[in-house]
Amino acid sequence: MAQPNKDLHLTAEFLTLLRAGFYGQIKFESALSTLESGFIPVGYLDTAHKAFDKLDIWMNDLAKELPIFATSWSSPETFDAISAMSFMRDLKTDLQVIIPQLEEALLVPNLSQEREAVKLLVAALVRSSSTRSSYVETLAVLFNQLKAPDLAQQVALEIEGAREYVRITDIILNTFNTPSAYDDGLCEKLRSEASLTPCDFKALVHDTNILLNVYAKEFTFELAEFSREQAQEWIDNQIPAVAAGYWQAYDFNAQDFLEWKDVGVTGAPLAANWRRAQFAPTEAIEWIKEGLTPSIAIVWREAGFNEPARVSSMLRRGITDPAKAPRTDSGS
């Protein structure tokens, strides 16, 4: 079986996003609690726990090839489907509450003097990484259960990268769990690291919009919550609302999308990470082709190494410090 039928596939996508979203919310609360933040109100996780009670049942049913959604419907017809939609709206609402507070925290002038803002940014990183990791791991498991190994293998390619991001955010959480961490230097590094978290959450909101409107005849810019003015440039460039929603979440316009697409980058998060590192699309793609990350590229470029292929060669030789790398190739 190459892939599950449409009902099973839709149910898998829906339940995976719900599980990942609420798992991320639980990790968000846990991180804030670890940091002794007063940000989270009492009862914050009540909905998440109710959702998991249902998700455990629904995912067990899905493993038996019993979907809760049918693509033949014109709207949700069963209690389970209606309930799942309600949980998705709850998840969306929570993200929409958090996003402006994250954006405000990122703009705090003296971040080291605003500990609650620091704690919120740290917890947001934990939530973003946990959500992503949960999503790819859960979807890979479900596709395997549904006898769709090709799809499972495709998703599984992202698992290690997602787990590495979790490891990094765990280190950040542990770092800021000590009073001495709140100095200007570390807080500014945190600001940079957390700069894309509002965008990550906006992309998740876009995910929820797509699934909440799965029974619409067409996913329009209105359903993607674009204003007419925002939508027009994307329409003029014949870019559909699904793609536009992800790219706008990361503050790209239609022309930006076309420039990154022209070099072969179709994922907004990837483009956003390279743009944050101040690489133009034509520069970034050369490093991407070598399998190098923005953090590695920054270090080597600042040291005067502007040829990604040469940097890749150095790394294969075991040279990770540009200061120890030969400036010219010995021919060996």
Do 16 and 135 form a contact (C-beta atoms < 8 A)? yes
78 within a domain of the structure (yes/no): yes
Domain boundary among 135, 159, 188: 188
pLDDT for 1 = 40
Same domain, 70 and 177: yes
Same domain, 286 and 178: no
pLDDT for 188 = 96
Among residues 173, 220, 219, 213, which one has the least CA distance to residue 193?
Answer: 173
d(CA 287, CA 275): 13
Distance between first and last Cα of the chain: 49
pLDDT for 134 = 98
Number of separate domains in the chain: 2
Domain extent, residue 133, equals 6-188
Residue 320 per-residue DSSP state: -
d(CA 328, CA 92): 53
- Residues listed for the chain: 332
Same domain, 131 and 21: yes
257 within a domain of the structure (yes/no): no
The 10s digit of each residue's pLDDT in 121-143 is 999 999 999 999 999 999 999 99
98 within a domain of the structure (yes/no): yes
118 within a domain of the structure (yes/no): yes
147 within a domain of the structure (yes/no): yes
Same domain, 10 and 155: yes
Could you tell me the mean pLDDT of each successive run of 10 residues in the chain, 332 residues long? 78 98 98 95 96 98 96 96 98 98 97 96 98 98 94 95 97 93 93 98 98 97 97 98 98 98 97 97 96 95 94 94 81 40
254 CB contacts (<8 Å, ≥6 apart)?
A: 233, 234, 236, 237, 239, 244
pLDDT for 3 = 55
pLDDT for 179 = 82
How open is the CA angle 264-269-271, to the nearest 5 degrees?
45
Domain boundary among 170, 188, 206: 188
Helices (H), ranges, the chain: 6-34, 46-63, 79-106, 115-145, 149-156, 159-175, 184-193, 197-212, 228-236, 241-249, 254-262, 268-276, 281-289, 294-302, 308-316
Do 71 and 10 form a contact (C-beta atoms < 8 A)? yes
pLDDT for 14 = 98
Same domain, 181 and 309: no
pLDDT for 265 = 97
Same domain, 125 and 12: yes
51 CB contacts (<8 Å, ≥6 apart)?
A: 18, 22, 87, 90, 91
50 within a domain of the structure (yes/no): yes
261 within a domain of the structure (yes/no): no
Instruction: Annotate 282-314 with b (16+ C-beta within 10 A) or e (fewer).
Output: ebbbbbbebebebebbeebbeeebeebebbbeb
pLDDT for 327 = 80
Domain boundary among 168, 188, 208: 188
